[in-house]
Amino acid sequence: MISFRTALLSALVALLVASSLIGCTGTSAPVDERPAEAEKPLESPSGPPPVVQPEESRPSPPPAVPEPVRLYTYEVVNAYPHDDGAYTQGLVFENGFLYEGTGLYGKSSLRKVDLETGNVLLSRDLTADRFGEGITVYLDRIVQLTWQSKVALAWDKNSFELVRELPYPRDGWGITHDGSRLIASDGTSTLYFLDTETLAITGQVEVRDGDTPVYRLNELEFIDGRVFANVWITEKIAIIDPGSGRVTGWVDLSRLLASRPSGKPVDVMNGIAYDAVNKRLFVTGKLWPWLFEIKLVEQGSGPG
Ligand SMILES: [Ca+2]
């Protein structure tokens, strides 16, 4: 009897021991209940500062909604005579005068023009093998691009003497400046930022309206932090954020010249100038008989 009870106890003990062993080695060990911190890798002393919250606990930022593209039409404030033989490729207003660069082989020039009368006060012709393009006035120099001669011209602003020629290894279309950099177009969707002395490229940006590149950027004007660009061969001006290349607005200048027909053949709209002192915006075109002062009128906005 005793030996039977002993055997029964031994069996029970063995059963308990076995059960205990299964509990210790079972696959149901509560791994998932470990504190979350135990899962984190140790942060190195040079890791992120402790004030940075984990991504999961930060409030969600609002979804990025692109700023809508503003759409403008115009009002004509003034119309001034413009030489209808001037194939306008560059236009600038400074200190009461217009500066204009004209194109075509054998007809290209640099001009200083009286706004009110359109009279040419001073001019220099380019050699017949050079097709003049955009101009910008920077300090005491006027920089004038040529279309495909791979050279840019630096003129003295006051005497119109040619100071020097600079290599320019791209097509020249439009040029302006933002106070510290020249900004140029070459007929593509790219704006190039150039050193003011050497014209070497210091940066560039692709111009896009939403996701769509905007090609054929032509005459340029820097106005209040934005680059205004004629888009060849349209009657539209793109307003561009030079930091991102994003088009922030469009100006539709349809029917501008039709309001004052001349009966003579004209070419496309080209030429934007800005009187920063009196906040006057001027536009004209190639062979246009008029130069217009316009005011932008916001019409609404389109998708960003
Ligand atoms: Ca201009």
- Domain membership of residue 297 (yes or no) is yes
Cα 9 to ligand 1 centre (Å): 105
Map tokens 């027909």 to a residue. 261
- Domain membership of residue 26 (yes or no) is no
Cα 101 to ligand 1 centre (Å): 10
Cα 13 to ligand 1 centre (Å): 99
Cα 227 to ligand 1 centre (Å): 10
CA distance 126 to 102: 9
Query: Given this model, what pLDDT does residue 57 score?
Result: 60
In the predicted structure, residue 225 carries a pLDDT above the cut 80: yes
CA distance 194 to 191: 10
Cα 281 to ligand 1 centre (Å): 10
Cα 57 to ligand 1 centre (Å): 51
The chain-wide mean pLDDT, for the chain, equals 86
Cα 303 to ligand 1 centre (Å): 28
Query: Given this model, what pLDDT does residue 283 score?
Result: 98
- Domain membership of residue 47 (yes or no) is no
- Domain membership of residue 20 (yes or no) is no
- Please name which of 215, 230, 255 lies closest in space to residue 175, comparing C-alpha atoms: 230
Query: Given this model, what pLDDT does residue 136 score?
Result: 99
- Domain membership of residue 156 (yes or no) is yes
CA distance 92 to 90: 7
Query: Given this model, what pLDDT does residue 145 score?
Result: 98
Cα 21 to ligand 1 centre (Å): 88
Q: Domain of 73?
A: 69-302
| Average of per-residue pLDDT across 122-132 | 98
Give the pLDDT band (50/70/90) at residue 100.
very high
| Structural domain count of the chain | 1
Cα 223 to ligand 1 centre (Å): 10
Cα 234 to ligand 1 centre (Å): 16
Cα 55 to ligand 1 centre (Å): 48
Cα 255 to ligand 1 centre (Å): 21
In the predicted structure, residue 264 carries a pLDDT above the cut 50: yes
Q: What is the CATH number of the domain that holds 74?
A: 2.120.10.30
Buried b (16+ CB within 10 A) or exposed e, 115-147: beebeeeeebebeeebbbbbbbbbeebbbbbbb
| Average of per-residue pLDDT across 255-278 | 92
- Domain membership of residue 31 (yes or no) is no
pTM of the model: 0.79
- Domain membership of residue 5 (yes or no) is no
Cα 3 to ligand 1 centre (Å): 114
CA distance 141 to 132: 16
Cα 107 to ligand 1 centre (Å): 20
In the predicted structure, residue 236 carries a pLDDT above the cut 50: yes
Cα 134 to ligand 1 centre (Å): 7
Cα 93 to ligand 1 centre (Å): 8
Residue pair 132/126 in contact (Cβ under 8 Å)? The answer is: yes
- Domain membership of residue 85 (yes or no) is yes
Give the pLDDT band (50/70/90) at residue 261.
confident
Query: Given this model, what pLDDT does residue 175 score?
Result: 99
Residue pair 90/144 in contact (Cβ under 8 Å)? The answer is: yes
Give residue-wise pLDDT tens across range 168-220: 999 999 999 999 999 999 999 999 999 999 999 999 999 999 999 999 999 99
Cα 154 to ligand 1 centre (Å): 16
In the predicted structure, residue 98 carries a pLDDT above the cut 60: yes
